Amino acid sequence: MRIDLHTHSNVSDGTGTPAQVMRDAAAAGLDVVALTDHDSTDGWEEAAAEADRLGLRFVPGIEVSAKDRWVSIHMLALWPRPDDAALAEILALTRDARVGRARSMVERISVEYTLEWEDVVRQSGDAATVGRPHIADALVERGHFATRGEVFDAILHNSSRFYVHHYAPDVHDAVRAIRAAGGVPVFAHPGAHARGRVVPDAVIASLAKAGLAGLEVDHRDHDEESRARLAALADRYGLIRTGSSDYHGTGKLNLLGENLTSPAAFEALEAQRG
């Protein structure tokens, strides 16, 4: 059984519709796939219907934005109740903050590059969550860069002078909110040093006590040293090891199924559903 628990559609920063992500998953030979758009559940219904048509097992998920002080953290929430008021409020606050942050970044960038807010709106379309990838796509459309990846490497990385922080809940509060909504929290790409600072081992220990279920150990952005460290931490704190693609369609090089979650790990995660 081939299981991928981390994908994105154009509801956030992927390039395909939720239904297209499911078709891509079927073409990649997956059996189980989660849609985990940033801070939104808007793609679930469409994805679930297409997955059912294709004979895929669909897992509803969210990639919840969080932070530990100034370190940005992404927490996968698998199977949360979409009608949970407390979690929905956190997601709404974060989506609103992302818009303000994107506007501020566009203002900074436009001093040196031809770029307008309308360019970003055109790229985001009907997305529930507006983010840096939409700014990157707008800069590519303007001809300043060739690819989304080039934009991130040059001016949209976390240390860039154009970078602006946005509201996100404390990661411990996010884990507790996911659990309260019946969801299963898995720390997404916790060793991705190239994305910016990562949390120390003590934070993962603290999150385990707060209700963290798993660590995404196998991920494209983890080198072998990071994978070994995270696997050891998972064993030490009784966390479930997962692997995922973090698929974004044509927005990133990540391929569906390039990292997988084992059937045993999936069964252990599902057993923790609220």
Band of the pLDDT at 15, cuts 50, 70, 90?
A: very high
pTM attached to this predicted model: 0.91
Residue whose token pair is 């590059």: 113
Please provide the distance, in angstroms rounded to a whole number, between the alpha carbons at the two ends of the chain: 24
- Selected from 3.40.50.2000, 1.10.150.650, 3.40.50.800, 1.10.10.10, the CATH number assigned to the domain covering 100-156 reads 1.10.150.650
Under CATH, what is the fold of the domain 3-91+171-270?
A: TIM Barrel (3.20.20)
Tell me the pLDDT tens digit for each residue of 67-106.
998 899 999 999 999 999 999 999 999 999 999 999 999 9
What is the C-alpha to C-alpha distance for residues 158 and 194, in angstroms, rounded to an integer?
9
Q: Report pLDDT for 62.
A: 98
Looking at the chain, the domain(s) classified CATH 3.20.20.140 span 3-91+171-270
Is the separation of the CB atoms in 49 and 21 below 8 Å? Answer: no
Q: What is the pLDDT of residues 184-195, one digit of tens each?
A: 999 999 999 877
